[in-house]
Structure 1
C-alpha cells in the first residue's frame, strides 16, 4: 500500500480517465445525435433517454478536460462534473418511475410530469453541488480536480454524491423488481389462454423487462469501486491504493458508455438507423435481405418503451 501516488501512477490514471471518458462522450453523444436527427424518436419515453445521454455527455466532457489549472478552472471542472454526474443517475430514476407508473399503476399522465422531472433532476443536482462546496478545498490531481483534502470535505462529498447515488440504485432496483413481477404474473395468466398471439406478446414483454432489470447494475458497476475507494480514503487518509483508484477511475468514466448502450441503443434507434442506411443500399443488396423490415418490426414489439409508454400517449 502506497502512501501517495507517484507521478507515473498519476499519469496512468490520467490516461485511463481520458480514455474512458472519451468513450462515454462518444457513446452518449451518438444517442443525442440520433434524437436530434430522427423525428420518430422524439417520444416522451426516449426524451428521458436523451436527457440522460446529454447529462452523460457533459459529465464525460468536463471529466476528460486535460490538465485544468489550479483556481477557477479547477473549481469549474470539479463542480460541473459533480453536477452532471448527479443529474445522470437522477435521470435513470425518472425512467424507472415512468415505467412503474405506466406498467404497474396504469397511468397515462407521465408526459405531464416532464416539468416536475426537470425540477427534480436539475434542482437536486444544483443543491448537491452547492452543498458540496462546504468544507471543500479543490486540489489538482492529474487530469481532473478532487475536492477531498479535508475530512469534512470528504464527508460532505460522500453525502452529496454517493448517498443519493445509492438511493437511486435502491429505488431503481425496487421499481424494476415490481415491474418485472407484474409482467411475470401477466405471463403466467396468459399461459392458460387460447390466444397464442397474446401468449407470444407476453413472453416478449417479459423478456424485455428482464433485460431492463439489469439496468441498476450499470450504476453499481460504475460506482462500486469509487464508493469503496472513498470509504477507504476517509478511514485511512493519505494512503492510496493504486489498483483500487485505477478501477474507480476506469469504471466511473465508462458510465456514459454503459448508459448509452443499455438505454439508448434499443430497437427503435436501430430501426431508424437501418431505414436510413437502406436508402443508400444498392438494390442487389436488398434482395439478400427481403425479411429485414419484418424482423425489425418484431424487434420493435419487444421494446418495453414502445409497448407500454409511447402507445398510451
Structure 2
C-alpha cells in the first residue's frame, strides 16, 4: 500500500476509536449516575457496564497505538500493548455471551432476575478466566520464539501492535476462532428464543420482552457480525497470501473493528434515548387527540351521528334559522332587474296580507313582523345597490 492509503486507514482507526471511547464512556457514566449499577434486579446493567468498560479500554489502546508501534523492535512496550488489546476485545465479546445466557435463564427457563443474580459471580469467573487463557499464552510463546531466534509473535501487526503476520495461525487460534464460536452460540440462543416465543404462551413473551436488553438481543448480534466479519476476512487473506495486501479489506477492517464500542453503545444507550423520545412524542400526540375528541361541538346532531346516537327531533334555532328569518333568499332588485324587484315587493305585500290569517310561522314567531323586517331589508339593499351602481357608472365615465 502506498503512503496515501496508509494515512486513510490510520485516520479511520483514530476516528473510530475516538468515537467508541466517547460512546462507551457515555454509557458507563449513564449507568453509574442513574444508580442503575448496584441493587437487585439490575444484572442487565452490570453486564452492559463491564462490556462497555472493556470496549472503552480496547478503543483507548487503539488510540495510543502509535506510541508503541514505532518502538516495536526496541522494547517490550508493543508486546504488552498487543496483549492488552487481545485481552479487552476478547473480554468484551465474552460479555455478549453473558447477555445471551441471561436471556435463556429469564426467557426460556422462566427464572426471576433475582435468582439469576445469585450466580452472577460465575460470569466474572468464566469470562475473565477465558480472557486470560487466550492472552497469557501469547506472552510465553513470544518469549520462547525470541529466545530461539524465531522472531516476534507479538509486534507490528501492520496498523497496531498485535500478533504479527508471520504467526497468523495464532490469530485464528487465540482470537478469531473463539469469537466466532461465541457468535454462533449467541445466534443459536437468539434464534431459539424467537422460535420458542412463537410456540409458547404469551406469559413468556411478556417476561422476555419487559427487559430492554432482551428486546435488543438481535441488534447485539448484528453489531457483532458487522464488526468482526471484515477483520476475519482480512486476516484470512493475510494467512493465505501474506505478501499481498488488499486495500479495501484493510480499510473495512480499520473502519468497523474500532467502532465496536460505539455500536454497542448505540444498541443500549443511544437506542434507549431515541426510544424514550419516540414514546414521549407518541404520548403527546395521544393527549392532543383525546383533547380534540373531548372538545364540545357546536352542532349537537353531528356529534350524535359520530357517536352513533339518534338525532334529537326537537328543532332548535341554528345559525341557518336565524339567517332565514332576517334575510331574504330571493333575487335582489337591481337596475337591470326592476321587474323582478317589483315582483319581490309584490310578493312580500301579498305575504303580509296572508299573515293576517296565519299570524305564526313554523318557529312560533310573529309572522307579520318577520315579513315586515324582510321588506325593510330588501328596500334598504335596493337603495344601496342603486347608489353603488350609479357611482360606478359616473366613475367609469370620468
Same fold (TM > 0.5): yes
| Counterparts in 2 of 1:110 and 1:75: CA distance versus 1, 3 Å | same
8 Å contact from structure 2 (residues 82, 163) kept in 1: yes
Higher relative contact order (Cα pairs below 8 Å, separated by 6+ residues): 1
1:13 aligned residue: 9
- Give distance in 1, aligned partners of 2:125 and 2:155: 31
Whether 2:86 is the aligned partner of 1:82: answer: yes
Whether 2:267 is the aligned partner of 1:262: answer: yes
1:3-82 correspondence runs (5 A) = 5-40=1-36, 42=38, 43-67=42-66, 68=68, 69-70=71-72, 71-82=75-86
| Counterparts in 2 of 1:214 and 1:31: CA distance versus 1, 3 Å | closer
- Give distance in 2, aligned partners of 1:255 and 1:32: 15
2:130 aligned residue: 124
Higher mean displacement: 70-79 or 122-131? 70-79
Can you list the C-alpha shifts for 1:72-109, whole angstroms capped at 9, x where unaligned?
32112211111000000100000010011111012232
SS, match of residue 39 in structure 1: coil
8 Å contact from structure 2 (residues 79, 162) kept in 1: no
RMSD: 3.3
- Give distance in 2, aligned partners of 1:58 and 1:199: 37
Residue 171 of structure 1 and its aligned partner are, at CA, apart by 0.6
1:244 aligned residue: 249
1:215-230 correspondence runs (5 A) = 215-230=220-235
Can you list the C-alpha shifts for 1:141-170, whole angstroms capped at 9, x where unaligned?
6752132232xx211121111111001100
2:183 aligned residue: 169
Higher mean displacement: 200-209 or 248-257? 200-209
- Give distance in 1, aligned partners of 2:56 and 2:204: 40
Q: Structure 1, unaligned stretches of length 5 or more? A: 191-197, 275-287, 296-313
SS, match of residue 185 in structure 2: helix
- Give distance in 2, aligned partners of 1:54 and 1:165: 18
8 Å contact from structure 1 (residues 34, 269) kept in 2: no
1:89-104 correspondence runs (5 A) = 89-104=93-108
| Counterparts in 2 of 1:62 and 1:115: CA distance versus 1, 3 Å | same
Residue 66 of structure 1 and its aligned partner are, at CA, apart by 4.5
1:285 aligned residue: none
Aligned length in residues: 265
Whether 2:131 is the aligned partner of 1:115: answer: no
2:240 aligned residue: 235
SS, match of residue 254 in structure 1: helix
| Counterparts in 2 of 1:36 and 1:87: CA distance versus 1, 3 Å | same
8 Å contact from structure 1 (residues 48, 95) kept in 2: yes
8 Å contact from structure 1 (residues 222, 252) kept in 2: yes
| Counterparts in 2 of 1:72 and 1:202: CA distance versus 1, 3 Å | closer
TM-score (norm 1): 0.75
- Give distance in 2, aligned partners of 1:19 and 1:267: 24
Residue 130 of structure 1 and its aligned partner are, at CA, apart by 1.5
SS, match of residue 161 in structure 2: strand
Higher mean displacement: 133-142 or 89-98? 133-142
Residue 8 of structure 1 and its aligned partner are, at CA, apart by 2.7
Can you list the C-alpha shifts for 1:15-57, whole angstroms capped at 9, x where unaligned?
1111111111111111001111111454111110001111100
| Counterparts in 2 of 1:23 and 1:212: CA distance versus 1, 3 Å | same
Residue 129 of structure 1 and its aligned partner are, at CA, apart by 0.8
8 Å contact from structure 2 (residues 91, 128) kept in 1: yes
Higher mean displacement: 14-23 or 102-111? 102-111
- Give distance in 2, aligned partners of 1:268 and 1:16: 27
